[in-house]
Amino acid sequence: MSDVVLETKGLVKHFPITQGIVFKTRVGAVRAVDGVDLQLRRGETLGVVGESGCGKSTLAKLLVGLEKPTAGSVQVRNEDMVRLRGGALRRARRHIQMVLQDPYTSLNPRMTVGDIIGEPFEIHPEVTPRKGREKAVQDLLDTVGLDPGHINRYPHQFSGGQRQRIGIARALALKPEIIVCDEPVSALDVSIQAQVINLLESLQDEFGLSYIFIAHDLSVVRHIADRVAVMYLGKVVETGNDEQIYEQPTHPYTQALLSAVPVPDPRLRGRRDQIVLEGDVPSPANPPSGCRFRTRCWKAEDICAEEEPLLQIRESSAHPSACHFARPRDVLHAS
């Protein structure tokens, strides 16, 4: 399948929990990402949603090589990033770049915008020869809708939305095929958010980019993503296309998540299916046995504690769902 540009198999990241300062002993592990299989196709946007702490950012860092996995593989254009070393790794990394959430802390305040956007060229000099760099940076500024004349300004001279554009320009510098966006619009006001979403969409068309789009806002993800993966406690619990996830969700967690999102239409008030979850998410250092959602699930039975439900197509779920009792339920529309 040459169409697949990114694939993870059994991806795991455990952060050790240690005790003691001089003689550290390992007393456990935070299972931040715990066996994730994903596929991203060329030109596609895969949305990743889930509540804070479910492992989205750790997954993003694993994909771009900022964290080393505890187990599993990350294939980018059919090369296993985890195994590559030295020059080969450096060359492979070019193809997958990242945009971060916080436009205020993700840019070095002491560097000019030109230096920030041009920095990747220092690491990958083969992409643009030295004398062409200023022009390349100006072109990038223009591409993301900023004034190329502002190349010598500093990050604080830009608004939040403009800074996010700078981060996008930096990610585009090496002409990657894939961009991993970790909550790229979460910190922005709605009117600015729409500008950045539209920019990401038009860049995708222009350059044939594939996106992993991570967000906790399910409405934004519905707007931008072709397919969606829902995460809970380090695992993907349901994946499918827009229609499957939003109109026919089969995992109870997806259903609860969707039902909790308020819709900006007062006529739907009290007329939608409401699922209110009790309690908090358990600790990823000590996840429940079997199905990790069972402690908050209204459908749980004995088997849920005993047997881990696999993420697979089931008789009552036409798309992969990790629930023994997967079954579609409409939680978005008025009943």
Ligand X SMILES: Nc1ncnc2c1ncn2[C@@H]1O[C@H](COP(=O)(O)OP(=O)(O)O)[C@@H](O)[C@H]1O
Among 181, 257, 311, 322, binds other proteins (CB under 8 A): 257
C-beta separation of 3 from 35 below 8 A: no
Contacts of 309 (CB under 8 A, 6+ apart): 290, 291, 322, 323, 324
Instruction: Spell out, one character per residue from 50 to 69, where the chain touches Mg ion: x when CB under 5 A holds, - when not.
Output: ------xx------------
Q: Give the interface size with other proteins as a residue count (CB under 8 A).
A: 44
CA neighbor of 116 nearest in space, from 131, 126, 103? 103
Continuous segment of H or E residues that includes residue 11: strand 4-19
CA separation for the pair 249, 245 (Å, rounded): 5
Q: Which does 262 bind (CB under 5 to 8 A by kind): Mg ion, other proteins, ligand X, none?
A: other proteins
Binding to other proteins (CB under 8 A): which residues in 166-185?
A: none
Residue 32 near ligand X by CB under 6 A = yes
Is 113 or 214 the residue whose CB approaches Mg ion more closely?
A: 214
Among 71, 82, 136, 277, binds other proteins (CB under 8 A): 277
Within 84-221, strands assigned E span: 96-99, 178-182, 210-214
Residue 53 near ligand X by CB under 6 A = yes
Continuous segment of H or E residues that includes residue 29: strand 25-41
Interior CA angle at 205 toward 200 and 208, to 5°?
A: 100
Span from 24-32, 48-56, 195-203, 266-274 in contact with Mg ion (CB under 5 A):
48-56
Span from 55-63, 76-84, 186-194, 199-207 in contact with ligand X (CB under 6 A):
55-63
3-class DSSP state for residue 122? helix
Which residue's C-beta sits nearest to Mg ion? 57
Residue 56 near ligand X by CB under 6 A = yes
Binding to other proteins (CB under 8 A): which residues in 82-111?
A: none
Least Cβ distance, residue 160 to other proteins (angstroms)? 9
Dig out the tokens for 182 from the structure.
Answer: 């970790």
Least Cβ distance, residue 287 to ligand X (angstroms)? 11
Instruction: Spell out, one character per residue from 177 to 196, where the chain touches ligand X: x when CB under 6 A holds, - when not.
Output: --------------------
CA neighbor of 103 nearest in space, from 161, 54, 180, 176? 161
Interaction site with ligand X (CB under 6 A): 15, 30, 32, 50, 52-58, 284
